[in-house]
């Protein structure tokens, strides 16, 4: 087998990709992992991770992902810090193109994840991990008895607001329209929650604070009135974008662009598997991503055995 021909290629790193690599490597499949544009996934932009099992004192996100990578390499995974440019799933072995080089593999595990949508303002990026978060279930604990602002208007936003209301002192939902996109039942629950209040037709224009979030500056997009809201946390809940651009027309995606699995981690293409946030629109947790990464490697190993015999 040449250096460019493999039994398993894993596209993407993060908890799903690296866990898939650990299991595939321990099955002596010697996987090649393309770590992608964001090696380690979203956890590399997170500071304290306190909900991953095995770390009772918590762990820094980048440190946790370094441990995942080291463990994968220890068992024989080859990790390259490259992006995949295009793929060809029309025939086996499958082709993966990166930096002008074509690689071949009998099976593929897609673990490219999904990226949170952000407001796109400079101060938001500066304070990410310092009070600005896109994951209420990950970071809500750090804001116990504090005032937070949440941006969004869909089901996920209201689910996050309700979740946060059990922990924080108050949740102010800032929405750019005068009505929510969320389902009626979620709206009723949020409107009836005394800890949640709404500010309509309004957008966050700046996050205030130097080392930690101290508030947000807003503008009413109808009256142009400007205001400041004092808070210690800002949660962005305006959706995620699955990182599946290179798979368009190659594999079945749903209407939002997430990879569709047809059974377990199998996709509609025999020999191509998917795991982690690229298929998960519900949980989006490191531990659930790792779990499906494990499953995809086991599925790939069994599929290879069946097709080699």
Check 48, 66, 88, 138 and give the catalytic one. Answer: 138
231 is catalytic: no
Check 48, 66, 135, 147 and give the catalytic one. Answer: 135
139 is catalytic: yes
| β pairing state of 32-34 and 78-80 | parallel
Distance CA 113, CA 35 (A): 11
Nearest of 16, 286, 237 to residue 138 by alpha carbon:
286
- Is there a cis peptide before residue 180, judged by omega within 30 degrees of 0? no
Q: Which residues are catalytic?
A: 135, 138-139
């Amino acid at each position: 087998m040449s250096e460019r021909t493999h039994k398993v290629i894993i596209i993407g790193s993060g908890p799903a990709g690296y866990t898939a690599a650990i299991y595939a490597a321990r099955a002596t499949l010697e996987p090649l992992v393309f770590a992608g544009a964001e090696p380690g996934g979203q956890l590399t932009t997170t500071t304290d991770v306190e909900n991953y099992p095995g770390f009772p004192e918590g762990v820094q996100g980048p440190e946790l992902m370094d441990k995942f990578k080291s463990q994968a390499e220890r068992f024989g995974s080859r990790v390259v810090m490259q992006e995949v440019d295009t793929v060809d799933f029309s025939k086996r072995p499958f082709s993966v193109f990166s930096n002008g080089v074509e690689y071949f593999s009998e099976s593929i595990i897609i673990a490219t994840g999904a990226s949170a949508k952000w407001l796109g303002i400079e101060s938001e990026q500066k304070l990410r991990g310092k009070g600005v978060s896109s994951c209420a279930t990950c970071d809500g604990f750090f804001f116990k008895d504090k005032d937070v602002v949440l941006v969004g208007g869909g089901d996920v936003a209201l689910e996050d607001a309700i979740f946060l209301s059990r922990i924080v002192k108050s949740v102010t939902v800032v929405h750019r329209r005068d009505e929510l996109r969320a389902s009626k039942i979620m709206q009723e629950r949020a409107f009836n929650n005394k800890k949640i209040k709404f500010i309509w037709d309004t957008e966050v224009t700046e996050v205030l604070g130097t080392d930690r979030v101290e508030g947000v500056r807003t503008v009413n997009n109808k009256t142009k009135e400007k205001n400041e809201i004092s808070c210690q946390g800002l949660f962005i809940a305006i959706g995620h974008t699955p990182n599946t651009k290179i798979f368009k027309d190659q594999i079945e995606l749903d209407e939002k662009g997430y990879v569709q699995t047809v059974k377990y981690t199998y996709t509609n293409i025999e020999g191509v598997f998917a795991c982690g946030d690229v298929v998960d629109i519900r949980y989006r947790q490191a531990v659930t991503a790792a779990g499906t990464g494990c499953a995809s490697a086991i599925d790939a190993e069994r599929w290879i055995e069946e097709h080699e015999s």
